[in-house]
Amino acid sequence: MIDEKKVLRMTKMAYYESHGGKKDKAVARYFRSDYVGLHLLISFMTITAAFLAVIAAYLCFNFEEFMATIYTMDLLEIAKKLLFYYCSALVVYLLVTYVVYQIRYRKARRRLNMFLGLLERLEPSEDE
């Protein structure tokens, strides 16, 4: 006789495995701090590259003006201002990254634990 509850559990499990189970298993390979730390490092490199790209683009578009006024500029003040903007953007971006990946890790672990719970209920008990 076919147990409809087991078939339903197996269907849920198959759906989970084909629609995100692989991603959740990849997340579960890490400890939470390692997973979040890895993405913080990636975000740090990303925001640094983006900031440098913005500075390079600004200099490319305004190169003539920049070269004409380079000797009259207060380069130390400009460097301080750029460092302030960089640090501000970095802090905001890293805070957002931290929160997002904490939530993603928690949700992935919750879904994986649900999957493992369904798997445990599929195994035959000693009564059956």
Q: What is the pLDDT of residue 17?
A: 76
pLDDT for the residue numbered 1? 66
**pLDDT of the residue at 88:** 97
Answer yes or no: are the C-beta atoms of 20 and 82 closer than 8 Å: no
pLDDT value, residue 20: 73
Taking only the tens place, the pLDDT of each residue in 29-88 is: 889 999 999 999 999 999 999 999 999 999 999 999 989 998 898 999 999 999 999 999
pLDDT value of residue 57 = 96
pTM, rounded to two decimals: 0.77
Q: Which residue has the tokens 């076919």?
A: 2
Residue 59: closest CA among 47, 51, 72: 51
Are the CB atoms for 30 and 38 separated by under 8 Å? yes
Supply the pLDDT for residue 126: 53
Predicted local confidence at residue 86, as pLDDT: 97
